A and B are shown apart, each in its own frame.
Chain A
Amino acid sequence: MTGARRRILVIEDDPETAEQLVDFLETRGYATDLAADGNEGLRLAQSAPYAVIVIDRMLPGIDGIAVIRRLREAGTVTPALIVSALGEVDDRVRGLRAGGDDYLVKPFAFVELLARVEALARRSATVVKETVLRVGDLELDLVSRTVNRGGRAVELLPREFQVLEYLVRNEGHVVPRAMLLEHVWDLHFDPTTNIIDVYVGRVRRKVDSEQAYPLIHTIRGVGFCVRAPR
């Protein structure tokens, strides 16, 4: 991954938030460009290829949604993650309708932002059609919807299979709870309970118990990650 694959445009007007974002993304190996207002952001976004644009909803000059709309009208398809301090319920819909690809409400954990940025960056890379997913000694057959680990079948309910599939597809990356709820259950809210943890806990029991090493890891305060030991 070089060049555009690791280059992120951050459009954020609050200097402190912007600095934190840039610092965090750079420690994770991304190159970043920073724009402090909508016009500059628009100019930068069209001047060079980026893997992902992280854009604040409320900006001086033109606001975030207008920037994305203009980019899309101009034919720029770089995935955009909208970051907003506005409430999620209606604003989210408006942001996605304008051409945003994902939406995150302030305040957020940087790890969650990273997870979403990486998901978008992967999406802008090529999508390979696979029929079998493998992580370590775990094998998911996407056609027969069966799972086996080290040659032994693992019995999963259909929804549990979907959860595992989503985690495996994002192997090595953190999947925040809200993203899991969005992609597996198609629900767009942040559950106030620990219900997702309990659910993933059961999947983990079925997949990881009595095995040589665990595959499903909980990242405290954020979500989950499937990773095989190297």
Chain B
Amino acid sequence: MLLAKALRSSTFKFALVSIAVFGAVVIALFGYVYWSTAAYVLGQTDSAIAAERGSLHRAYESSGHGGLVAAIEQRLADRRFDGFYLLADPSYSVIAGNLSQWPSMLKESGEGWSQFNSDAPKPDASADRVLLRARYETLPDGFHLLVAKDIGDARRFMNGIYGVLAFTVLFVFLLAAVASVSVTRRTVGRIESINATSRAIMESGLGRRIPLRGTHDEWDQLARNLNSMLERIEGLMGEVKQVTDNVAHDLRTPLMRMRGRLEKASIGRREAEGDQSLISAAIADLDDVLRMFSSLTRISQIEAANRTAAFRTVDLAEVAAEVVELFDAAAEDKGGHIRVVDGEPVLVSADRDLLFDAMANLVDNAIKHGRAAGEVTVAVGRNDGGAVIAVADDGPGIPADEHLHVFRRFYRLERSRGTPGNGLGLSLVAAVARLHCARIDMFDNAPGLRVELHFPSAAEYPERGQGIANEGVAP
């Protein structure tokens, strides 16, 4: 079964192709080594034979037939020579030499090179037939001369090399086969464990995680990344559920009120003034619901896509001045005042509408939850190359352990339950911050709360979307 699985595996197919290519290269390489070694060894023999023939020719030229026979005799008597010689007359009868007869297949063929087995005794008197490489020719006077060497050793040497090479190729193939099978099994095994977890997740929910082996290799890395992705998805699902619950709760309250009013109107007698006030109240409630609804969809829209198409170069100081000017009247109504600190131009790439909305929410919060007759400041500046907006009030502030929660949708501090609002303002600020890859920090302004929006410096900007993975919310 594993074999069938292995054959389907793309890793295994890839291994097979690799082995085929690798094997072909090894065979070609070894073939070349074998061929060039053989050529070298034979070349040595051939040049020795040529040298012998040369000196015999010289003897023949200087002293004719007699000299040639004498030279051959002398070589045969000398143990240092291991060659074979044969001089035959035109009718191939042996005149001198240590071969018993002229090889029959060399008759009639003039001159050339040849290889043949002979039962002539070896010079060192060891028995057996010998393999000879011979140069044969017909002398000008019609006699035949043959000079040969025993190449049995060379042949055995070449056979030995051939055996070693063949064995090596076989061994390499075997090794590659074992390696590819084990790599395939390992790969298929790890993928199978990831697949099994995926199936389990599809069947039973997001609680499962891919087991790690602790090897810190790329498989563990993949498993870790998939696991953190699962964690993120699980977290988001939890948030969605939380939000759904909150929406249900916050919608039910005004809807219930509306239903009550309409029911009262439908049961009661028609009466112009009472009906009018019931209808007005119902419309006001409905408007609340719709406003909350559009805030929610707006936040989801900002969060869903990387809406960077509307990004332009925006001067934060200018936006801050406009927000402050817009809220000046509201702060005055509460007896306090609002001002911009340090109005130097600070340019960022941003969506002006969203930025204005986010700043307006922060300032609105600062006025609403700050001290009555207090002061709200909006500061714009640069810090470590990145732009910073800080909105501060001198009111009661927010306890440090609540800092993280206030960005959650519908979250409201206990003491703000009485003030108008739906708990979505800071969620919108957080969504806008994430879109701009900005970080939100909250500090105790002693007294009051200071909220800072830190934009990444130009150098950190290209990785847009990266900041969305790690929420830019830190206490």
Binding site for B on A (CB under 8 A): 87-90, 93, 105, 107, 157, 159, 185, 187-193, 195, 198-199, 201-202, 221
Q: Known: A105-B294, A202-B329. Contact between A192 and B425, CB under 8 A? A: yes
**Interface stretch of the complex, out of B25-33, B239-247, B353-361, B459-467:** B353-361
Is B249 interfacial (CB-CB < 8 Å)? Answer: no
Measured between beta carbons, the chain A residues less than 8 angstroms from B250 are none
A190 surroundings in chain B (CB, below 8 A): 291, 294
With A107-B290, A188-B353, A189-B357 given, is the CB distance from A195 to B298 under 8 Å? no
Q: List the 3 closest pairs (A to B, CB-CB), nearest first.
A: A202-B329, A198-B330, A198-B329
User: Within the complex, what minimum Cβ distance (angstroms) separates B242 from chain A?
Assistant: 21
Residue of A nearest to B283 (CB): A221
Contact of B307 (CB < 8 Å), options: A90, A195, A201, A202: A90
Count of residues in B whose CB is under 8 Å from the partner chain: 35
1/0 contact string of B345-368 vs chain A (CB within 8 Å): 000000011101100110010000
B interface vs A, CB < 8 Å? 283-284, 287, 290-291, 294-295, 297-298, 301-302, 305, 307, 310, 322, 325-330, 332-333, 352-354, 356-357, 360-361, 364, 421-422, 424-425
Contact B301 A87 (CB under 8 A): yes
Q: Say whether, besides A90-B307, A199-B326, A192 and B283 are in contact (CB < 8 Å).
A: no
Q: Is the CB of A195 within 8 A of B330?
A: yes
**Residue in contact with B332 in the complex, picked from A157, A187, A202, CB distance below 8 Å:** A202
B374 to chain A, nearest CB (A): 17
A107 to B329, CA, bound (A): 30
Known contacts A189-B356, A193-B364, A198-B330; 5 further A-B pairs (Cβ under 8 A): A189-B298, A191-B360, A192-B425, A195-B364, A199-B330
Chain A residues in 8 Å Cβ range of B364: 193, 195
| Shortest Cβ distance from A196 into B: residue | B326
Q: Which of B297, B310, B333, B353 contacts A187 (CB 8 A)?
A: B353
Cross-chain contact A192 with B291 (CB below 8 angstroms): yes
Given A90-B301, A105-B294, A107-B290: A192 touches B424 (CB 8 Å cut-off): yes
In the complex, A195→B283 CA distance in Å? 20
Nearest chain-B residue to A91 (Cβ)? B301
Q: How long is the Cα–Cα vector from A83 to B425 in the complex, in angstroms?
A: 26
Q: Give the Cβ gap from B419 to chain A, nearest Cβ, in Å.
A: 11
Complex Cα spacing A224 to B305, Å: 35
Closest to A191 in B: B360
Asked if residues A89 and B326 are in contact (CB atoms below 8 Å), the reply is: no
- CB neighbours (8 Å) of B327 from chain A are 195
- Show 9 A/B contacts (Cβ-Cβ < 8 Å), sorted by A: A87-B298, A88-B298, A107-B290, A187-B352, A187-B356, A189-B357, A190-B291, A199-B329, A201-B329
Cβ-defined contact, B360 with A195, below 8 A: yes
Contacts of A199 in B (CB 8 A): 326, 329-330
CB neighbours of B298 from chain A (8 A): 87-89, 189
**Which residues of A lie under 8 Å from residue B421 when comparing CB positions?**
192
Distance of A201 Cα from B327 Cα, bound (Å)? 12
Compute how far the CA of A90 lies from the CA of B298 in the bound complex, rounded to whole angstroms: 10
Bound state CA distance, A105 and B352, in angstroms?
A: 21
Distance of A198 Cα from B333 Cα, bound (Å) = 8
Q: Are B284 and A221 within 8 A (Cβ)?
A: yes
A199 to B356, CA, bound (A): 16
**Chain A residues near B297 (CB-CB < 8 A):** 87
